[in-house]
Structure 1
Amino acid sequence: MIYIGVDYYPEQWERSQWESDVKLMKASGVNVVRLAEFAWSRLEPKEGAYCFGWLDDAIDLFASYGIDVVLGIPTMTPPNWLVEAYPDVLPQLDNHLGQPGVRGHRCYNSPSYQKKTRQITRQLAAHYNDHPAVIGWQTDNEFALLMCGCEHCTEAFHMWLKRTYGSLEMVNKQWGTVVWSGEYSSWSQIRLPKNHHTYFNPSFLLDYRRFQSESVTAYQHIQIEEIRKLCPTHFITHNTWADGTPLHHYELFKELDFASIDYYPNTSPEKVKTNPYSGALLLDRTRGMKQAPFWVMEQLSGPPGSWQNIWRAPYPGFIRAAAWQSISRGADGVVFFRWRTAAVGSEQYWHGLLDHHGVPGRRLEEFSKFSKEVGELSSLLEGTTVNNNVAILWDFDSHTSFKLQKQTEGLDFEEHVKELHRSLLRLGLGVDLIDPKVDISSYRLIIVPMLYVLTDETAAKLEAFVEKGGILVVTPRTGVKLANNQMRQDHLPGPLARCLGVRVTEYDSLGLEPHSIQHSSGIRYSAHYWSDLLELQGAEASCVHADQFYKGTPAVTKHAFGKGAAYYLGTFPEEAYYDALFADLSEEAGLSPMTSLPEGVQVSVRERDGVRLVFLLNMSRQTQTVPIEGSFVSQLSGESVQQKKQLEPYAIDVLTPAL
């Protein structure tokens, strides 16, 4: 079943409104709702005094209309009585999260909070374990690294270090604390910062973030453990988000049944060209977290606002197109945030499907059209998955370490990945965003962007991939660090040098200074931020640097290695170069790139047991014509589609091969 739903907050509305809301939801195509993830003060108004009656009534009302329920564990918002009684639950931070009255104001390592988390989770799971309308649970809400420096985090970090390194002597060695007389002679000397400081030891900072990420996962396990014991048939997920602070999502989702994401594509006209590709990247990354179908637990319903300027109103068709984009890239559930726009509290301008007046308008009409279409195609969609031959590695350690130490002006880890991913999507290629630890044997083309922290194990895995016939593309700032965030003391790209057939003799941090490279065909491309000076050790140069003091030296290389080939990019070229490179490499890998795919049009495929659904999405504000190879049937209109398909702005189609 494909679930389409909304986030609803019955505790924020008069009971007299509930049934009219639920009735309209049902008429609009809603088959699932998420409830209660912020309602702790209503569920337990005083310590130990649980009050579930109002939620029982709401769930029973949804059940009477045939709407299923996902319950959120409300631990992102500890109630005031809890904070007053157990002040250690508040994190020690230099920002607003260190005080009550907001959200996220809790320390994952607080013993008091862990105890109260277990209690509320157990009570909810025991109460709703056999309710026929409750199908699953969401842990907490939008986990993120807090970087708390309280005594409980300090003590837990010391224990983490003892498990990881065994002794202070090894900590000193792995962190290189001999620098600046930073050696520790007692565990008590290892104190936690309340904010990031440029001058802190980078090995310490990486380990601190690893610890904090593991603290999130361990805290989540408390909720999972209680739910699994009492609700063995219910699914458990968590709704992550596009937070700029690195969190090891691949580890976070290991214990969960599937990943979920909160997806708010930007409605600004200036973002029309790049935003749809960034959204696709977010969805592909979410699918890659478990290499499986996922849910969108919060899908854009209207313009966000409240603690920021209110966004532009969604262009006609935008809401439906973004929701279909989620389905096309592997979502089996899409839940819109929110049903009604809040009249009270901090999210009054984070608009839902209904505005404050509550009268249905065009946004609800778009939602209804989308939910009707998905409902009609549900039997075709059910059980289908997205299976790709191209992958981009996304490494937690590299992402984190890179953010800790700036390299050059303008160079950003996420933006670099976006450029690579965007280029692949413009060729109609499906892409998985994967952790380096997963099995990579099924892929034909793997892109390795700035694998800054490179272990020998990962290098050996990538080398074996190429030897067996795979195609590997590696970009600069790969192989820079060891796992302890200390510098490798060999030539870059470190343990990948043999596979790539090249070594970096020197590098030039260009920042925003103009630079260019020239392809062997004579075409010149602009390049940015960085230049590696390369020495060929078996590889051949396909591009050379076209200026600077190293003009004429290799800039991009290819090395035939085993049955495959490894490419090294010694700079960051403009996207036109990526387009040309990936078009060639995808053909070399036996894939079928769409070199004439219009800007803003995306293609994705879901399939199972001979059923193949091809999604065409025009995520732009211009009418686009998409070239079609073969004969297809539109599952939305029933029309035959051959040679080309015209798509109006934000139009979508779902095609199946004609019999």
Structure 2
Amino acid sequence: MKVGVDYYPEHWDVALWEQDARQMQETGISIVRLAEFAWSRLEPREGEFDFDWLDRAIAVLARHGIEVVLGTPTATPPVWLTHNYPDVLPVDNKGNAHYAGVRLHRCYNSPSLRKYGARIIEKLTQRYAMHAAVMGWQTDNELAANDCHCENCTLRFRGWLKRKYRTLDELNREWGTVVWSGEYSDWEQVKTPLGGSPHLNPSFLLDFRRFSSDAVADFNRFQADLIRKHSPGKFVTHNLWGYPVTADYYDMFDSMDFASVDYYPATDLRDDSKSRMYHGALTLDLTRGVKRRNFWVMEQLSGTPGCWYPMSRTPFPGMIRAYAWQSVARGADAIVQFRWRSARVGAEQFWHGLLDHHGLPGRRYAEFVRFSEEAGRLTPLLEGTTLQHDVAMLFSHEQLNAFQIQPQADGFDYVGNFKRFHTALLRMGIGADVINWRSDFDGYKLVIAPMLYLIDDEMAAKLRRYVETGGTLVLTMRSGVKNMNNVCLPERLPNLLTNLIGAHVDEYDPVGKDVQTLTFESGETHACAQWCDLLIPVEARSIASYSSEYFAGRSAITKNEIGAGVVYYIGTVLDAVGTKSLLRRIATDVGIDCSLDLPEGVEMTTRRAEGKQITFVLNLSKDVQTLSLPLRDCVSALSDRRFAGGDFELQPGAVEILVR
């Protein structure tokens, strides 16, 4: 277990470096990330390099026992590069180049970015390959698929399409360009989706997103290859920044040793629109699932967020410590706080670090020191532990992109609906692995695969094999709608999945925000919204029917037994209570413990290794919470207090770590 900070020595007077390093050492910091935005200091003019300041900064940190993660600086091309080689800058769908002077202002397909990016990476890695204090590397920063329409991207997109479809006739057929006279007669006519209209061909738009995702994955791979060539034996990671994103993280991280994430939980808690990209526990579970192993948090909330928008609320007392432990509880093996000092210059002056602008320790700093001390003390206990679950949730960037291109109903949101299932499991104390929908899931008792809008024969067969051999599968509305080229399939919904669910969709109603009701066999009634599939069971049994509007009495949820397993099809979006009730029934049937009913803001997770089980109980809310835990004969790793079971009171931001 490692604890660290992000530090920008180039922003501060050299006289502060020694003081900062000494103070970091006193707080238990063992790692610092450096240089990911420092290209202009490393190469102030084309071909002129200055590493002396970085040598000195690393040496100061090393004297205090602190190791360094170096970032490649390609997220911020310097002014000389964008001025002399404007092909570095992305071009928007109106043909306008992005301006320099911000960050992430680079086109992954730019020959100049590749050329000069390779040179600075080679210089860095050659210089620090054998440095004892440099433990590993971070590529770039918060990579995302640029929506770039420059000449280089146009040519590469055309080549990407030629490799996929081979002929224009095939492309026209697969995209259905006959609609609105969109047929191409020459490859030169094929361009990126210019203009930004949402009414462009959806197959065209999805392929462009795939191309953009492939470009960023290739750019990350290009950097990883250079790093490993010149700095063998040291890890390579990247810091993803949340969801939703166009780029497919599973592809982007295929060249990384492990995943890292930048995690800024909402400080407003109830409604923080600026932080909705960070879906709390789901973000951490998604990150763990990228490589299906433990991960790092490369940027963790340290203070009030705010940059080019109004500041959010200050983290409440206990929040920084509690959310750091939440990250550990969900698989983080390193917590790196962003940032050590709050910036006095630049656009991020009000994205607060552990130290405010005056540099004096305060409440947030003291909280971090407490977490750091606890993490250091518990490192031997946590060593080698991982999360092991019976439930998998299948996440798909393909589906996410397709739904963004063609929103299905008022209020319909892929990630939001995915999170609805994840939250229901969390409230019942059920852990889940959130994994790539294409990866292996045979070993799980329960697989939840929401909204498989795009489908192919391979995936349909894989799901059927899983069920036939004893698995329990949950499918939902908007599954089996299209083929992988974003073209509607011709049979009754859910098309390739119809035989699996043992029912078909007679018709559907995108009810949006018009709330409906349904009733289970047991008599339970729950609200639903967004979408209503009206199902006709064939081999399946209806277990819930609508009880509102013209479709009252029509089947809403079915259960079908196939071979040794079971598949459920949920034809609507249940409210939170209904989702939890249904999943509790399903979990009980497959023998998964679902006895907990955790209040909002309370989480419980377990890390395991041979011979030990470590359970984290966290109150991430501002309220005192009381709960009854089914744990016996545990010892608190924080206080050595014995816990015999029963009621448990948690103060706001409280953390308990129980060992069996």
Deviation at 1:377, TM superposition (A): 0.6
The 8 Å contact of residues 97 and 105 in structure 1, kept in 2 or not, is answered as no
User: For 1:186 and 1:455, how far apart are their aligned partners in 2?
Assistant: 29
**What displacement does 1:127 show?**
0.4
User: 2: CA distance between counterparts of 1:614 and 1:442?
Assistant: 23
Q: Which residue of 2 aligns with 1:560?
A: 561
| Pair 1:656-2:655 in alignment | no
In structure 2, C-alpha distance between the alignment counterparts of 1:148 and 1:579, rounded to whole Å:
42
Q: Which residue of 2 aligns with 1:7?
A: 6
- The aligned counterpart of 2:616 is 615
Tell me the equivalent position of 1:119.
119
Q: Which residue of 1 aligns with 2:16?
A: 17
Following TM superposition, the consecutive aligned residue runs of length 4 or more in structure 1 with deviations greater than 4 angstroms are 94-97, 274-277
Q: What is residue 522 of structure 1 aligned with on the other side?
A: 523
Following the alignment from structure 2 to structure 1, what is the Cα–Cα distance between the partners of residues 151 and 10?
Answer: 35
Q: 1:158 to 1:277 in 2, by over 3 A?
A: closer
| Equivalent position of 1:633 in the other structure | 635
d(CA) in 2 for partners of 1:392 and 1:356? 43
- 1:423 maps to 424
Q: Determine the C-alpha separation between the residues in 2 that align with 1:637 and 1:611.
A: 18
Contact 1:276 1:600 in 2 (8 A): no
1:220-239 aligned within 5 A: 220-239=220-239
State how far apart, in whole Å, the 1-side matches of 2:423 and 2:538 are.
31
Residues 396-475 of structure 1: pairs in structure 2 closer than 5 A:
396-475=397-476
Q: Would you say how many aligned residue pairs link Structure 1 and Structure 2?
A: 656
Once the two structures are TM-superposed, the CA of residue 599 in structure 1 deviates from its matched residue by 2.6
Kindly indicate whether residue 318 of structure 2 is the aligned counterpart of residue 317 of structure 1.
Answer: yes
- Give distance in 2, aligned partners of 1:17 and 1:94: 45
Amino acid at match of 1:616: V
Q: Which residue of 2 aligns with 1:31?
A: 30
1:73-114 alpha-carbon deviations (Å, 9 max, x no partner): 000100000011111111111699811011111110011111
Whether the 8 Å CA contact 1:583–1:595 is kept in 2: the answer is no
The alpha-carbon deviation at position 195 of structure 1 amounts to 5.3
Counterparts of 2:645 and 2:533, CA distance in 1: 44
Are residues 603 and 276 of structure 1, via their aligned partners in 2, closer, same or farther at CA, if it must alter by over 3 Å? farther
Separation in 2 of the partners of 1:277 and 1:40?
28
Q: What are the residue-to-residue correspondences of 1:368-387 with 2, within 5 Å?
A: 368-387=369-388
> 1:46 is matched with which residue?
45
> Which secondary structure state, in structure 2, belongs to the residue aligned with residue 364 of structure 1?
helix
Deviation at 1:245, TM superposition (A): 3.1
- Quick one: distance in 1 between partners of 2:263 and 2:156? 33
Q: Are 1:76 and 2:78 matched, yes or no?
A: no
Matched, 1:642 2:648: no
Measure, in 2, the Cα distance between the counterparts of 1:491 and 1:446. Answer: 24
1:606 equivalent to 2:581? Answer no
2:462 is paired with a residue whose SS is helix
Distance 2:164 2:536 in 1: 38
Distance 2:312 2:620 in 1: 18
User: Hey, what does 1:181 align to over in structure 2?
Assistant: 181
What is the distance in 2 between the residues matched to 1:53 and 1:595? 57
8 Å Cα contact 2:429/2:597 also seen in 1: no
1:41 CA drift (Å): 0.1
Distance of 2:545 and 2:42 partners within structure 1: 65
The residue type paired with residue 530 of structure 1 is: W
Instruction: Tell which deviates more after alignment, 60-69 or 621-630.
Output: 621-630
Q: Please report how far the alpha carbon of residue 160 of structure 1 lies from its aligned counterpart in structure 2 after TM superposition.
A: 0.7
Q: Deviations over 1:254-312 (max 9, x none)?
A: 1100001100001115249x989931000000000111001110000001112111110
One-letter identity of the residue aligned with 1:305: G
Q: 1:243 to 1:425 in 2, by over 3 A?
A: closer
Unaligned runs of 5+ in 2: none
Q: Distance in 2 between matches of 1:159 and 1:650?
A: 53
Equivalent residue, structure 2, for 1:93: 92
Q: 8 Å contact 2:137–2:237 — kept in the other structure?
A: yes
Partner of 2:307: 306
Residues 504-519 of structure 1: pairs in structure 2 closer than 5 A: 504-519=505-520
Deviations 1:298-356 (A, max 9, x none): 00000111211111011000000000000000001110100000000110000000000
TM-score relative to the length of structure 2 = 0.97
Tell me what 2:539 maps to: 538
Q: What code does the residue aligned with 2:46 have? A: E
SS in 2 for 1:278: coil
Separation in 2, partners of 1:94, 1:336? 36
Partner of 2:332: 331
- In the other structure, the counterpart of 2:203 is 203
Alpha-carbon spacing, 1:118–1:138, altered in 2? closer, same or farther (3 Å):
same
Partner of 2:106: 106
Aligned to 1:141: 141
Deviation of residue 610 (structure 1)? 1.9
**Distance of 1:223 and 1:572 partners within structure 2:** 42
Contact between 1:470 and 1:565, CA under 8 Å: does it hold in 2?
Answer: yes
Q: How far apart are residue 596 of structure 1 and its match? A: 3.0
1:21 and 1:377, CA in 2 relative to 1: closer, same or farther beyond 3 A? Answer: same
Deviation at 1:656, TM superposition (A): 1.0
Shift of 1:452: 0.8
SS at match of 1:220: helix
Alignment partners' CA distance in 2, 1:482 and 1:120: 43
Q: C-alpha offsets along residues 339-394 of structure 1, whole Å, 9 cap, x if unaligned?
A: 00000011000000000000000111010100110100101111111111111111
Task: Summarize deviations over 1:26-73 as a string: whole Å, max 9, x none.
Answer: 111111000000000000001111110000000011111111100000
Q: Secondary structure at the match of 1:458?
A: helix
1-side partners of 2:367 and 2:650: how far apart? 17
**Who is 1:212 aligned against?**
212
Q: Give the structure 2 partner of residue 491 of structure 1.
A: 492
What is the rounded CA distance, in whole Å, between the counterparts of 2:91 and 2:194 in structure 1?
A: 7
* Alpha-carbon contact 1:97-1:103 (below 8 Å) kept: no
Q: Give the residue type in structure 1 aligned to 2:284.
A: L
Equivalent residues of 1:276, 1:619 under 8 A apart: no
Matched residue, 1:585: 586
Over 3 Å counting, the alpha-carbon distance change for 1:132 and 1:124 in structure 2 is same
- Percent identical pairs in the alignment equals 47
Rate the CA distance shift 1:543–1:606 in 2: closer, same or farther, 3 A.
same
Structure 1 residues without counterparts, runs of 5 or longer? none
**Match status 1:479 vs 2:480:** yes
DSSP-derived class of the 2:337 partner: strand
Q: Do the aligned partners of 2:541 and 2:559 also contact (CA within 8 Å) in 1?
A: yes
**Match for 2:48: what amino acid?**
A
Q: Distance in 1 between matches of 2:371 and 2:250?
A: 30
Query: How much has 1:194 moved relative to structure 2?
Result: 4.4
Aligned counterparts of 1:339 and 1:195: Cα–Cα separation in 2: 42
Q: Return the offset for 1:590.
A: 1.5
- How far the C-alpha of 1:530 sits from its partner, in A, is 1.0
1:396-428 deviation per Cα after TM superposition (whole angstroms, max 9, x unaligned): 111100110011111111110111110010000
**Whole-angstrom CA distance in 2 between matches of 1:270 and 1:614:** 26
Deviates more, 1:120-129 or 1:190-199: 190-199
Matches within 5 A, 1:339-378: 339-378=340-379
Matching residue's letter, 1:17? L
CA distance in 2, matches of 1:28, 1:490: 63
Code of the aligned partner of 1:33? V
What letter matches 1:647 in structure 2? L
Q: Is the 8 A contact 1:241 1:263 kept in 2?
A: yes
Moved more, 26-35 or 615-624: 615-624
Q: Secondary structure at the match of 1:434?
A: strand
TM-score, normalised to structure 1, is 0.97
